Chain A
Amino acid sequence: MTKNKKGKKAEKRKYHVPNREAFHRMNFLYQAAHSTLVQNPNNIELSRFYIATMKTIAKRLVLRIDPSVKRTICKRCHTLLLPGITSTVRMRAKRERHLVVTCIFCKQVKRFLTREGHQLWSEKPELRLDTQIDKQAADKGLLP
């Protein structure tokens, strides 16, 4: 019995994420922005609005937006940057080799270096939540 209970608690803890509701909502808004843009590629205004609300939620609760999401948002006009539809993506060899994503509407530029073996901070395996939780659980002897 006790073992079972403990297991359940560990399970619960494993899935506990602070601000889960806000993340849920942000996820929905991001998807909504995508869906409106896919329905009609000219309907940027609404997708912009959704992205802007998503960003303000993140700002209010001090949540970090993952780079994979953040890199698809224009920081100037909150447009969802889809290559070929709302942005142009070009490789540039000058200076250091890098990727240039330009927002079609406000011409804001995003540059990403294409360095070999570069790893984003958020992609480091030791920082991931599930590995952290597993580690904590292993320390406490909850997991074999």
Chain B
Amino acid sequence: MAVDIEIIKQVAYFAGFASDDLEEAAKPFFEQTVKRGEIIAMEGDPAENLYVVASGAVKLFKTSAEGKEQILYLAHAGESFNDVPVIDGLPNPASAQAMGPVDLYALSKVDMRALLDKYPKAQKNTTNLLAGRIRTLSLLVEDLSFKHVIGRVAGILLKYAGDDVGSKPRLTQQDMAAMAGTAREVVGRSLKMLEADGSIKMNRHRIVISNKKALEGMVEMAT
């Protein structure tokens, strides 16, 4: 497996890069394949590498002392993770786990710093990327603080619904609970309620959104 420039091109750090610079910037990346469920980075450990998802999906999460999981966000193909500890040099603020078989492109902390020194455009892109992360996490704080669970579940369904089968990562009820900051049983009850009112259809391993507007309304009303 060679590093695919088309994936590197999608990474936020390289927005606006000319093709020659992209080829050069991609050189220090190395491939890594991880199995479903494998922990890629552990919260509190020193960060060695920045990662880009080449295929599959990775969940970034925090774990409470009681073992409860809170998902911060999912990283998909073309997205990076482990950015913050690589940039500030502090330990990993969250853990990262493969949601299925995942191909990664890794960049060592030293090579990442060299890349930022070499390309001022990458520094500007870093600011935009970190601003985006703050925005994502602020929305999560808003959801967890102010929205009722059913609205959060409706929001998760809308966010992770794809037009085609396989276009978005699959989620277990435990994943949804860890995103919504609630218990798995509560997600199960919410899905049953949404099915009963006709907003969704539970078709074995498929959740079909049959009334998108109703779900959007629940997201709005839940605040």
Asked if chains A and B come from one complex, the reply is no
